[in-house]
Structure formats: C-alpha cells, structure tokens
Amino acid sequence: MTTGSGWDGILEQGETILWQGQPERGIVWRDALSPVGLFGVVFTGFSLFWIIGAATMIGNGPGFPFTLFPLFGLPFLLVGLFMMGGHVIVDAYVRSTTWYTLTDRTAFVAREAFGKRTLESYPIAGMDRLELADGVPGDVIFGMAHGAYPRRVAQQRRSRNRLVTGSTVQIGFRRIAEARKVWRLLRDRRAALRQADRDGDMTE
C-alpha cells in the first residue's frame, strides 16, 4: 500500500487497491455548534467566574501561597476552551495527517498525529453497517466505536452522567470528495465477498 503516510508491505497476497484519498483539510467551525460546544461555553464562563471571584476575594490579603489559589481554575478553563472550540482545531489537525485506503478486502485508516503512527483495518466482509452521508465532501460510515470518559470526570459531573460516561464515535472515511463513489465500491465489494462466502458454504 502506498500512501503519504509511508505504509508499505501490509497488503495480503493478491489484494488490490481500489481507492485512496485523504479527508478534506481545514477547520469546520460549524462542528463547534454542538451540545459539547454549547456546554463548553457554559463551562468556560463558570471557570472564568470562579478565577475572577477567587482573585477578588484574595485581593491584597494573604500572600503566598494563597495568591496561587485562582490558578487552580486554569485547568477547568482549558477544558472549557477545548470543548467550546479547541476540539475542531484538533480535528482539523488529525484529518491533515490521515490517509484512507480501500482495497478489495479491507478499509484502512492510517494516521501520523501527535508523533504517533497508527493503522486501523476493517475487513469489508464483516461490515454490518454501511452508510453514506452524501455531499462534497461526504462521509462513508462503516462502523461504530464506543468510548468512555474517566470515572473521576463522571463523578465530578454526576448530573450529566449519561452524557459524560459514554460516547459513540462513527468509524469510516470522513469528509472525502468522492463519498458516493467510495460507498458504491464498498457496497459492491461487500456483496461480492458475502456471495463468495455463501457459494463456498454450498460447495462444502
């Protein structure tokens, strides 16, 4: 497999590349208008209120180490800023270091982000989900991943436990220019592979 990420020699014997590409680059600011982004506004506002309030209460009163007390709000402020808009900047960076490859057997997602190289592979025959978000760019979704936040975060925000303790992430080729073409390739290859499996079972 030849991609900008330099992954070579990973294909099986006889495996053929059908399509390769990268996600569209650039920041998608409209993604900030989400429940996470809106909560980030509230979280950031609360953090600023806490920092300013703590600094005002200390004023010219006790000296060190009490003067450091307002700084304890900085981590919460950073989290709020990330939720409010930082995540779309990180997403743009990750997409700029992502490469997609579709073969006649497997869908590959390769990344070189934050100094780490990763390669994920998804066999076409085992894809139970195949969706097209049509458009230019569009998305081809063929899986779901479930993640969880650290227990400490969940305990700190019990009132939003259902939103915080778990999340679902779509797996696929995101923001690609040829989404409809790639979706058709995947659909046809999945059907062909499953038919081949059925034919093989009948001959046994």
- Tens digit of each residue's pLDDT, the chain (204 residues): 545 545 667 888 889 999 999 999 888 776 666 777 777 777 778 777 777 777 777 766 665 665 666 777 778 777 877 777 777 888 888 889 999 999 999 999 999 888 888 999 999 999 999 999 998 899 999 988 765 444 443 344 333 333 333 457 789 999 999 999 999 999 999 999 998 888 776 666
What is the pLDDT at residue 64?
60
Q: pTM higher than 0.75, yes or no?
A: no
CB 138 within 8 Å of CB 35? no
d(CA 173, CA 18): 14
Q: Which of 93, 132, 89, 135 is nearest to 112 (CA)?
A: 93
How far is Cα 101 from Cα 16, in angstroms, rounded to an integer? 10
User: What pLDDT does residue 60 have?
Assistant: 60
166's CB contacts (< 8 A; 6+ apart) are 146, 147, 148, 149
pLDDT at 155: 42
Give the span between the Cα atoms of 94 and 117, in whole angstroms.
11
